[in-house]
Amino acid sequence: MSDVQRFDILVVGGGMTGAAAALGLCQQGWRVGLVEAATLEETLRPLEPAATVDDFEPRVSALSLASQALLHALGVWSDVTAERHCPYADMTVWDADGTGRIHFEAPAMGVSSLGTIVENRILVRALMAAVSDAALDLFAGVSVSDWTEEAAGSHCIQLEDGRRLEADLVVAADGPQSRVRQWAGLPTREWDYDQQGIVCTVETVQPHQATAWQRFSPTGPLAFLPLANEAGSRHFCSIVWSQDTAEARRLMALDDAAFTAELEAAIERQLGAVKAVSRRFAFPLRQRHAKDYVKPGLALIGDAAHTIHPLAGQGVNLGYGDVRVLLEEMARLRDSGLPAGEPSTLARYQRRRKGENLAMMAAMEGFKQLFARDELPLRWIRNAGMRWLDGQGGIKNRLAAQAMGIEAV
């Protein structure tokens, strides 16, 4: 049909992973289209300086060094760091039910920071600004409303405004509820944690010391993630408080004063009093993993392929791992002169990513189970184990380096 636009690759979803993938694929010389439901105006809206808790976006990402290296290679890391961001050099993890405590320090691992906390909208804004300057076709402010498989692995995407796009390869980066994954009939294994993640921004009396704080309790972990300080002597953190659903509902129903009092107690006043709290949001937590990430002419990346518990802040880092490997495989394919969507390329992408993602998901699940139990012998082992590990500099730092993507840099 004459009104169909043709591409080598169509990326559906211009969030943190989709925008990065589209940019990298375009830089390799593929003819790329990117479809994103949000308008460009909305995404590129300038940020106001953050003077109060309500000026920050409640959803943030703890970007590992490997994710930062990818963004650097794409040419957007300097744009991210030109905005609000907070590198953290320390991480402290402890057990609410005992004396176990682990402390990770960047210098001991030979790096200047363990990661950087960035508000999600700052990351997407930097990526989409680069996308809008790149030689690719951006379809912003419009959703994909249907997907059909044409002959010989080619795919047709229908936009809600009636336009039709065709490509040899569709990269689905349309998030955890991925419609493309569902249309393609790619099944998932999933289970509900029966927990919700409460996220908001808080102001504390004491500075966060560029440290990520995480306390585990039997009903779930609480993280205080350090935020950039643009307001002189004021101190802000983003919190992710994962709790069993009934407990999360109770916390969400509290007024600010009562919520703040419980939050201060839960973090054991590590940063003194909590002076202010922003509007709170609660997300149901669900582990989800696609049984296959690929089929002819289609690849899933990011949350479209997997979602994990936010307890170690690894969600987007796994997604950036997918983007890095997909870009490596597509660069090899480009050199070979074969069309996008080549089955052996997609198979290699899936093989390289599935094992790593599954290992991280299993580790998160193990962690969650370990801290959910409050039988005395288990509590003792857990606390003794944490104290032991904290004293084993070499082993501790190697484990942390792996989890934080430091070895991959």
Ligand X SMILES: Cc1cc2nc3c(=O)[nH]c(=O)nc-3n(C[C@H](O)[C@H](O)[C@H](O)COP(=O)(O)OP(=O)(O)OC[C@H]3O[C@@H](n4cnc5c(N)ncnc54)[C@H](O)[C@@H]3O)c2cc1C
Judged by the rule CB under 6 A, the positions of this chain that interact with ligand X are 12-18, 35-38, 60-62, 143-144, 173-175, 179, 197, 199, 240, 283, 302-303, 310, 313-317, 319
Tell how strand 32-36 and strand 137-140 pair up. parallel
Q: Which residue has the tokens 């993890």?
A: 93
The least distance separating ligand X from the CB of residue 388, rounded to whole angstroms, comes to: 27
- CB-based contact 89:112 (threshold 8 Å): yes
The least distance separating ligand X from the CB of residue 34, rounded to whole angstroms, comes to: 9
Give the nearer residue to ligand X in terms of CB position, either 266 or 382: 266
Span between the terminal Cα atoms of the chain, in Å: 46
Give the nearer residue to ligand X in terms of CB position, either 16 or 76: 16
The least distance separating ligand X from the CB of residue 239, rounded to whole angstroms, comes to: 10
The least distance separating ligand X from the CB of residue 330, rounded to whole angstroms, comes to: 18
Give the max Cα distance, the chain.
71
The least distance separating ligand X from the CB of residue 258, rounded to whole angstroms, comes to: 21
Give the nearer residue to ligand X in terms of CB position, either 100 or 220: 220
**What's the 3-state SS for 126-190?**
HHHHHHHHCCCEEEECCCEEEEEECHHHCEEEEECCCCEEEEEEEEECCCCCCHHHHHCCCCEEE
Gap between the Cα atoms of 5 and 25, Å rounded: 18
Give the nearer residue to ligand X in terms of CB position, either 216 or 342: 216
The least distance separating ligand X from the CB of residue 1, rounded to whole angstroms, comes to: 21
Give the nearer residue to ligand X in terms of CB position, either 283 or 367: 283
The residues pairing with 90 across neighbouring beta strands, listed in sequence order, are 105, 211
Give the nearer residue to ligand X in terms of CB position, either 313 or 341: 313
Closest CA to 114 of 181, 189, 64: 64
The least distance separating ligand X from the CB of residue 302, rounded to whole angstroms, comes to: 2
- 13 secondary structure, DSSP code: -
Q: Which residue has the tokens 């375009």?
A: 26
The count of C-alpha atoms lying within 13 angstroms of the C-alpha of 101, restricted to the half-sphere facing its C-beta, is 6
Give the nearer residue to ligand X in terms of CB position, either 40 or 96: 40
